[in-house]
Amino acid sequence: MSFNRFTTPLAFLGDKLGNIPDTAALTAYEHWWTTQGQAVSEAVDRAGTPWLRMFDRTGTRIDEICYPSDYWTMLRKGYRQGIISHVFEQNSVLPFYRLGYITAFHDPGLYCPYTVSLATAVPLEKYGSETLKARFLAHLLRTDDEVWQGATWMTEIKGGSDLGTNVETIAREQGDRWQLSGDKYFASNLGAELAVVAAHPEGATQDVRGLALFLLPRLKENGELNYTVRRIKDKIATRSVPTGEVELRDSEAWLLGSREQGVYLILEVLNISRVANSIASVALAQRAIAEATTFARQRQAFGKTIIEHPLLQQQFHQRHHGLQAAMALACKAAWMLDEVWRQTPPYNDHYHLFRLLAHLAKYWTAEFAAQTCKWAMEVHGGLGVLGEYPVERWFRESIILSIWEGTAHRQILDGLEVMQRKAAHKSLLESLRPSADPAELAKIEVQIERHLELPEDQQESRAETLFYDLAQFAAETLLKESLAQ
């Protein structure tokens, strides 16, 4: 079996995320990463977490995020390629995920600022007032060095799964704007010029229905800091992207959409990121397999290269098959988002089908990436744990992807909810029916219906097995469908 198409991102990606209108630009982007970007990315990762300069020489609070010198060279490359602007020019999210796949193959962490920038631009464009869009949106869509970045700040110290209870940030209405006060504990892409922030309007119920989504600029209209940074966190991976703690104290913000729609807008933001997480997970798994392939073709043991030994060769075949299945599932989630991302509440059944697919894809691909990166370390033997070789880094990056935008536990419970309340599994199984094995389809249908008849506590306690089986069935069926085309 030839593994050549698995060693470069663009060759493996092909047309899975649609026909590429400008193949030359995408090829040039990949070439830049191969010839220049990889070295920059490695240097940035080795440099470690950016640091915070809190005051200037006069004692004025500035909260400047200080990066390794080459970070901006690497980051701005994607913005110049139009990773955000193309979405609105082409009215499609697929260009974002195509460029994101190539980015994540070389640096999964760098895909984070692009993702949260898109997740800021989309709700602003969909739900912001005309005045708000005129003031801010064009800055996010620039393709030069003056481009603004976005951020999505939801999580507080008590955790991110139960946002309704754990978000304690309060928003008070002040004329045409709001003032936010609270603390965000995991605030990624610190220093972004804009952020979308979850908060409870004053007097709202302290649950998920009481949440609203706000647009928060880094600077007030008078040029003063609109929020302060308490500290930057030292993480095991995504080292180039600063994540820290943000203090909001009467910070100026604007409501996006209506107060009643807040939770839905927050979930829209999260689902953009969940699909990006799936795409990044597949790209990272491909990178780990590519590293393992290169090494296994060179390493000699017992008179031949280790890739020629039957057991390891079988493992390579299994990983390549799993990679293709994971790609099929992630791409289906991206295609589905492309069909529904313009919808606003109340959503139709097609949107709820997307929600289920997004949870399945995020759950399945993140786990596949983590297991594949662990396996790639094992292929390298003792060399796999050494920081001087790249495979150790990819394992670190995979652990971040399994947690970012909701752990497996969160995806399972949210996926179960959309099956219980919206019967999204029925739409999913109908969509898979033409390509599915009839016996396997009947089996999973019975498994789901029996599960949903259980008492609520038992549905939750036994949900992982069901979700695993459904994700595997969907991924394998979608792979079969893609190979038949």
Tell me phi and psi for residue 290, to 5 degrees. Answer: -60, -45
Cα separations in angstroms, 292 against 18, 315, 320: 29, 11, 12
In the chain, what are the domains? 4-140 (1.10.540.10), 152-259 (2.40.110.20), 263-484 (1.20.140.10)
Give the strand pairing for 170-174 and 177-188: antiparallel
- Strand positions, DSSP E, 205-281: 212-217, 228-232, 243-256
The neighbour count for residue 450, using CB atoms within 10 Å, is: 10
Tell me the average pLDDT across 369-386. 96
Tell me the per-residue pLDDT of 419-467, one tens digit each, with 9 for 90 and over. 999 999 999 999 999 999 999 999 999 999 999 999 999 999 999 999 9
Q: Could you give the angle at the alpha carbon of 346 between the alpha carbons of 341 and 352, nearest 5°?
A: 60
Cβ proximity of 477 and 471 under 8 Å: no
- Please list the residues that pair with 232 across neighbouring strands: 244
Mean pLDDT, the chain, integer: 95
- pLDDT at residue 278 greater than cutoff 70: yes
Tell me, what's the pLDDT at 240? 78
Question: So what's the pLDDT on residue 179?
Answer: 98
Lowest mean pLDDT among 109-123, 155-169, 276-290, 331-345: 155-169
- CA 342 to mean position of chain CA atoms: 19
Q: What is the pLDDT of residues 134-185, one digit of tens each?
A: 999 999 999 999 999 999 999 999 887 888 889 999 999 999 999 999 999 9
Residue 8, exposed/middle/buried by CB under 10 A (0-12, 13-18, 19+)? middle
CA angle 34, 39, 43 (to 5 degrees): 155
Q: What is the pLDDT of residue 137?
A: 98
Which among 427, 437, 426 is positioned nearest to 481, based on CA atoms? 437
SS3 214: strand
What amino acid occupies position 403?
Answer: I
Secondary-structure breakdown of the chain: helix, strand, coil percentages, each rounded to the nearest 5? 60, 15, 25
Structure tokens at 157: 């110290």
The token pair that represents 347 in the structure block: 């959503």
Distance of CA 273 to the CA centre of its chain: 4
6 pLDDT higher than 80: no
Token output for 186:
């995991």
**What is the DSSP code string of 392-428?**
HHHHHHHHHHHHTTS-HHHHHHHHHHHHHHH-HHHHH
Q: What is the DSSP letter of 36?
A: I
pLDDT at 4: 64
**463 token code pair:** 């949900």
What are 19-70's pLDDT values in tens digits?
877 789 999 999 999 999 999 999 999 888 899 999 999 999 999 999 988 8
**pLDDT (0 to 100) of residue 237:** 87
- Backbone phi, then psi, for 435, in 5-degree steps? -105, -10
Helix or strand holding residue 380 (H, E): helix 349-380
Q: 236 or 227, which is more confident?
A: 227
Q: What is the pLDDT of residue 5?
A: 67
pLDDT at residue number 1:
45
Amino acid 338: pLDDT: 98
* pLDDT above 90 for 211: yes
CA 372/CA 395 separation, integer angstroms: 9
Q: For residue 474, is pLDDT > 90?
A: yes
> Is the predicted pLDDT of residue 3 greater than 60, yes or no?
no
pTM: predicted TM-score of the whole model, two decimal places: 0.96
Give CA–CA dist 229/190, Å, rounded.
8
CA 227, 230, 232, 234 torsion: positive or negative? negative
Cα–Cα nearest to 345, from 263, 287, 425: 263
| pLDDT for res 259 | 94
As a whole number of angstroms, the distance between CA 234 and CA 137 comes to 31
Answer whether residue 404 shows pLDDT above 80. Answer: yes
Q: For the segment 102-132, what is each residue's pLDDT rounded down to a tens digit?
A: 999 999 999 999 999 999 999 999 999 999 9
CA 184 – CA 10 distance, rounded (Å): 37
Q: Which two tokens stand for residue 445?
A: 């249908």
